[in-house]
Structure formats: structure tokens, C-alpha cells
């Protein structure tokens, strides 16, 4: 029999295992097998033994905006990537350290694609060739009827020191709430809310009264 203390310690992990997809408020640390591939040429990949990278290391101790897309589709090329690429500087000004783009393709394909859609290197691209990351997030999207196979849902999230503080998941192949513009709007709202809350602290009230 588990003691009351043991049950309370295990509850977050049991609850996490019962949830089919990531949620706002989750910690990336609760997820396992988040290996991804960094984009590179086949020669470079062969040279490093096709090494995998733990996604957790990409977001550790940072504020990172992540957006994932089905693949190299018209909407991905013409709308989704440009939304984040063109707002990269604004996002960094709002406190984001890095912007990651996750695509279900092999590292070599993503390497070539990234040079096409983001020639200035504003974004960091991540390849998920085996769907390890996408499956762990509960974001698989079956597009077999479209001839695209199993890909990723279109979504975006903000990860702050390992915690998911914002999450926007699209319906089907739509591109609306997972845009950089929507993330910026929520970042600005969050800053404004934090400023208002700071004014309600004893120190904030004191400073307001002496100005």
C-alpha cells in the first residue's frame, strides 16, 4: 500500500501519463523520448553518426517560442514560416530568446528547406523524422488521404524555463492562432498584466505615492 505522501508525490506523474497531448501549464520535463535531429547535410549527419538531440536541451533555462507545422506545404511556406521569420526581432524584443520551427521531415530535407524559407537564419529549425517529438506532444496529424502521410498538427507554444505558458493548436490545416502575431499579442498582454500586478504590491503602491 502506498502512503498518502507517496500518492501525492506520484499524482503529477500519473496525471501526466493519462493525458494524450501537451497542455498549457505542463512541464517539458514530464515528457520522455523527445529526441530530434538538427538540420544538416547528409555528409555532416554521416560524420556525427546521425546523432540525435534532446529537445529539452534546446529550451533549457530559456524562453523559447516553438511553432510546428505539417511540412513543406503551401501554407507552411507562404504563411506560417514568414509569420515567425518576419516577427523574430519583435519576439526577441518581447523577451523570447529563440524561435524554433519543428517539421516532420528528415534533417537533410529540413536543412535545404530552411535555407529556402529563412535565408537570413532568423529561426532555428528542428527535424522530427521519426515523429518522436510530435507523438510525445500528442500532435500527430494523419494526412494520408492528402498523400502526405502522418505529419504534425499546426500549433505554437511558449516555453519558459521548461514550462509551457502558452499553447495554441489549430484545427486541421488552418493557420490562424498559431501565428507569431497571436503569440506577440499574448506576450504583450502578459507584460501589461504583470505590470498591473506589480503596482498592487506594497512597494508598487509606495512608489506610486511618492511620484
Q: Quick one: which H or E segment has residue 126?
A: strand 124-127
Detail the DSSP E strand segments found in the chain: 35-36, 53-54, 63-69, 98-103, 124-127, 140-143, 149-152, 155-160, 163-169
Q: Is 76 a catalytic residue?
A: yes
At what angle are helices 202-210 and 180-199 packed, to 10 degrees? Answer: 80
> 76, 101, 108, 189: which one is catalytic?
76
Residues assigned a catalytic role: 76
Amino acid at each position: 500500500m502506498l502512503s498518502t505522501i507517496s500518492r501525492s508525490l506520484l499524482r503529477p506523474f500519473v496525471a501526466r501519463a493519462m493525458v494524450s497531448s501537451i497542455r498549457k501549464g505542463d512541464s517539458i520535463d514530464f515528457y520522455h523520448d523527445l529526441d530530434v535531429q538538427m538540420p544538416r547535410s547528409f555528409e555532416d549527419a554521416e560524420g556525427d553518426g546521425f546523432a540525435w538531440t534532446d529537445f529539452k536541451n534546446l529550451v533549457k533555462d530559456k524562453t523559447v517560442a516553438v511553432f510546428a507545422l505539417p511540412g513543406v506545404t503551401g501554407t507552411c511556406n507562404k504563411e506560417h514560416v514568414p509569420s515567425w521569420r518576419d516577427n523574430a526581432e519583435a519576439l526577441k524584443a518581447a523577451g523570447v530568446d529563440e524561435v524554433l520551427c519543428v517539421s516532420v521531415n528528415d534533417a537533410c530535407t529540413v536543412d535545404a528547406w530552411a535555407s529556402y524559407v529563412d535565408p537570413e537564419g532568423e529561426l532555428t529549425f528542428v527535424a522530427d523524422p521519426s515523429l518522436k517529438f510530435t507523438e510525445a506532444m500528442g500532435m500527430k496529424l494523419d494526412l494520408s488521404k492528402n498523400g502526405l502521410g502522418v505529419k504534425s498538427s499546426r500549433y505554437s507554444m511558449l516555453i519558459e524555463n521548461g514550462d509551457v505558458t502558452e499553447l495554441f493548436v489549430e484545427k486541421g490545416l488552418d493557420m490562424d492562432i498559431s501565428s507569431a502575431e497571436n503569440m506577440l499579442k499574448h506576450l504583450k498582454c502578459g507584460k501589461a498584466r504583470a505590470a498591473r500586478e506589480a503596482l498592487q504590491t506594497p512597494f508598487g503602491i509606495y512608489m506610486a505615492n511618492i511620484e
